Amino acid sequence: MHRAHAGSVMTERRTNALILGKFLPPHRGHRFLAEAARDEADDVIIALLANSAEPIPVDLRHAWLAELFPWATVRSTVADHRIDYDDPAIHDLWAATIQDVIGLETVDVLVTSEPRYGDEIARRLGARHVLLDPERRRYPISGTAIRADPKANLEWLEGPVRHWYESG
């Protein structure tokens, strides 16, 4: 926890940790990241960065995240920016979008399993990057795999997400 002096009164600044993604859909790998973020800081922010062409509505994913992680602050937006891990201008655009959606100037910790963009986005946000399970060995699942065969991947889903796939 950070401490700052205000005159002779010492105040504590709460720290925050950020996880971000499409959450298309949220799965146990995302829970792993959220719980790790919770261990890293006082407050956890989950930034849902949706694309307008995605098959699961952003409002539904936002509601799922809020239900699955009631102790976190969930923020969401639709941003149709392209993805190019080699273009610094694209990293700048995504970092600005993330700051806009979370409404904070400072991010203390960014928790990802993404070596392709985690370091760059963390640097642009002024955050420390915590990279977890980039090979996805602990949670060998992706939203792509779930969307391709939801019934075969129900074990990776929880609560309202699992129910949505089971009833659909």
Tell me the pLDDT tens digit for each residue of 124-142: 999 999 999 999 999 999 9
Cα–Cα distance measured from residue 115 to residue 119, given in angstroms and rounded to the nearest whole number: 7
pTM of the full structure: 0.90
Mean pLDDT of 109-134: 96
The three-class DSSP label of residue 13 is strand
CATH number for the 2-140 domain, one of 3.40.309.10, 1.10.3720.10, 2.40.30.10, 3.40.50.620? 3.40.50.620
The domain segmentation of the chain, as residue ranges, is: 2-140
Q: Is residue 94 pLDDT above 80, yes or no?
A: yes
Mean pLDDT computed over every residue of the chain? 93
